[in-house]
Amino acid sequence: MLLAPPATLTVAIMTYNRPAHLRNCLASVRRHLPGAPVLVMDDASDDPAQLALLEEARTMDGVRVIVASGDKGFHGGLYGNMQRALAECDTRFLLYLQEDTQLVRSPDATDMDHVEQALAPTDAAFVYPFFIKAIKKKAGWTATPSDVPGSLQIRTRDNALRPWNFYADICIADVQALRAAGWRFQPSEGANGQQAQSLFRPMQWLHAPWGFYCPEVPIFRWRARSRSLAQRILPARVRENAFFHDMDADSVLRLRNRPANTLPFAEDYLTTTRKVRRPFVYQDVKSTRLSHLVWTLETKLFKR
């Protein structure tokens, strides 16, 4: 049976003090998964623009805003918020996003059927729905055709299975499987990968992904912005947020019809709203060689 996204899938967006990116992410979800329930999991933001956007989101149909206590560890309250989203979810599947990500196309009934088939085994819990970073080419990643329709298995040169083969912070989770296994999110992506490796089969990666990480995202958030020389010397174009254009029909067809053993690198399919460095980088301070050098020195000197 083919699935309808609103009936089977909840979207949880993890966010803290990035209002422009939250607005973009939320808009992409409502555009590409219309009717799907949305949980906005805010980590006790204090940026006035973010707080205003949260108030606006509370008025949107199908959107719930949940504000956490704001545990500011290395990842803030990310994993506690992911656990809370798991507890609040009342659909079978839960798509975990972060505010600096974006959906770039609308999954159809066939896409959702692929998700259902990937998560059909009782020991399956996670599916990866994003494109792959081109920087992974250096790691020798390869695609191995899966016996699950519409899915891939990803390997490195030595063909070994590692924790990231089993879990990623951006994922589609089978809520029933996680609850049955007594899943509790651990304080790092690696630790969650180890937990998933002990409980579940390797994660399937969608042959035709739905979204990706926005490039050149501001590394400092509101009050901390002025602390970095690296960010102050960035060119004006980098100070403008870079998002993705939605994929057109030809791009989606090209994505779907590529060979099954070919990785879906984001740079091959996605276009941005302004010129960005390629291969994509994911922090604004890495967008130029000079700012990256200054940021590296600052990190060593001030232990950022």
CA–CA separation, 100 and 26 (whole Å) = 10
242 and 221 both lie in a single domain: yes
Q: What is the mean pLDDT of residues 177-195?
A: 97
- Res. 7: pLDDT tops 70: no
Least reliable range by pLDDT among 102-106, 109-113, 158-162, 216-220: 158-162
Residue 50 sits in a domain whose CATH number is: 3.90.550.10
pLDDT score of 222 more than 90: no
Specify the range with the lowest mean pLDDT, choosing from 1-5, 113-117, 131-135, 179-183. 1-5
Of 247, 248, 239, the C-alpha closest to 276 is: 239
pLDDT of amino acid 200: 98
Examine the domain organization and report whether 154 and 242 are in the same domain. no
**Number of domains the chain contains:** 2
Phi-psi region of 13 (alpha: psi -120 to 50; beta: other; left: phi over 0): beta
Is the same domain home to 171 and 222? Answer: no
**What is this structure's pTM?**
0.94
Structure-token match 């992904």, residue found: 209
Query: Can you give the residue range of the structural domain that contains 173?
Result: 5-211
